């Protein structure tokens, strides 16, 4: 592998001149610059990016940590694709690191990006606790922003949607439509999102003095298959329900498929609402009502705030983003409608 000294020798210049050409800092005459570029091409020299980043104090890269169990699904596809698009427009590179399966592995992924000298890091955590995230942010100079968690200490470093409130909105709409027996399919309960959506379901029922029947709550795993299995569980328990809320659209779609196979009409016999408003939601039969999360707006805010921090500008905490109910054909009035 060619070295910077070999490039300098071939071009007939000093190593410092080659460094100035590579970094773009400092004046180098056009004739010398061209000799250096020619020498680089002839030797196949590749600069040590880490060394260059240390020298220039900027890598023009932004790191993103997401655990691999979250890669699939339209929500995370949109999150990653939109992040890449915005950063490309800003002349920056997005580097993805896998948080894998534990808090320790998520922290290792963050450290990996720090070691690469990423200018800033965005985390969509699943396993790290709030206290651990606050501690990580507090002890590093590079800005580290957290999506989908509400931090206690570093509140201006988090961007999140109020998942509890979104679930309250979904369930309250069904209650206002005359539904009283409402089933709920949770997401994975090792996920803060899953926990908050379940708590919103319970809170909406409690606000109408309705006890949450444990028999109407079934655990899901964010997949369409688990949505189908949840309906099987509800039917096996023999509980009545005129409406069902699933913690994401994939489970809602699985639930509709199983209800239809069991000759239970949606929405005439059971109304269904999902979460995330994936692109497929309007195109299934019946079209799926869903809580739409402002993913694009959250990413815009995250990257804008991160770049503002890097530029030394002022920033402040954004209020929680809110989900909007997209009503479609999967919901109709319930037995108690006036």
Q: What are phi and psi of 306, to 5 degrees?
A: -65, -45
Phi, psi of 275 (to 5 degrees): -130, 145
Query: Given pLDDT bands bounded at 50, 70 and 90, which one contains residue 21?
Result: confident
**pLDDT for the residue numbered 314:** 73
* Distance from C-alpha of 306 to C-alpha of 118, rounded to nearest angstrom: 12
The confidence band for 177, taking pLDDT boundaries of 50, 70 and 90, is: very high
Rounded average pLDDT over 188-210: 93
Q: Between 101 and 58, whose confidence is greater?
A: 101
Task: Return the closest-CA partner of residue 201 out of 247, 240, 232, 161.
Answer: 247
CA–CA gap between residue 286 and residue 282 (Å, rounded): 8
The DSSP secondary structure of 14-38, one letter per residue, reads: -HHHHHHHHHT-S---HHHHHHHHH
Q: Which residues contact 123 (CB under 8 A, 6 or more apart)?
A: 64, 65, 99, 106, 110, 133, 144, 145, 146, 147
């Amino acid at each position: 592998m060619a070295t910077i000294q070999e490039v300098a020798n071939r071009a007939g210049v000093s190593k410092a001149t080659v460094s100035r050409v590579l970094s773009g800092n400092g004046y180098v005459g056009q004739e010398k610059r061209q000799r250096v570029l020619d020498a680089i091409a002839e030797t196949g020299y590749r600069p040590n990016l880490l060394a260059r980043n240390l020298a220039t104090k900027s890598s023009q890269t932004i790191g993103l940590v997401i655990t691999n169990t979250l890669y699939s699904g339209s929500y995370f596809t949109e999150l990653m694709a939109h992040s890449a698009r915005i950063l490309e427009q800003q002349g920056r590179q997005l580097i993805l690191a896998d948080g894998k399966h534990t808090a320790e592995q998520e922290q290792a992924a963050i450290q990996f990006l720090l070691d690469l000298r990423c200018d800033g890091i965005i985390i969509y955590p699943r396993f790290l606790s709030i206290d651990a995230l606050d501690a990580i942010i507090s002890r590093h100079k590079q800005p580290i922003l957290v999506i989908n968690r509400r931090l206690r200490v570093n509140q201006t470093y988090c961007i999140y949607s109020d998942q509890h409130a979104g679930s309250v909105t979904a369930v309250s709409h069904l209650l206002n439509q005359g539904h009283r027996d409402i089933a709920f399919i949770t997401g994975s309960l090792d996920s803060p999102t899953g926990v908050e959506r379940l708590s919103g379901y319970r809170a909406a029922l409690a606000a109408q003095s309705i006890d949450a029947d444990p028999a109407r709550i079934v655990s899901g795993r964010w997949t369409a298959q688990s949505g189908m299995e949840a309906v099987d569980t509800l039917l096996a328990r023999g509980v009545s329900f005129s409406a069902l809320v699933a913690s994401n659209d994939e489970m809602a779609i699985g639930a509709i498929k199983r209800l239809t196979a069991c000759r239970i009409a949606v929405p005439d016999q059971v109304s269904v609402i999902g979460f995330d408003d994936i692109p497929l939601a309007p195109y299934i039969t019946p079209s799926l009502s869903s809580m739409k999360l402002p993913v694009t707006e959250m990413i815009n805010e995250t990257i804008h705030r991160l770049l503002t921090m890097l530029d030394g500008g002022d920033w402040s905490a954004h209020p929680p983003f809110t989900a909007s109910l997209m009503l479609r054909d999967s919901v109709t009035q319930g037995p108690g409608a006036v």
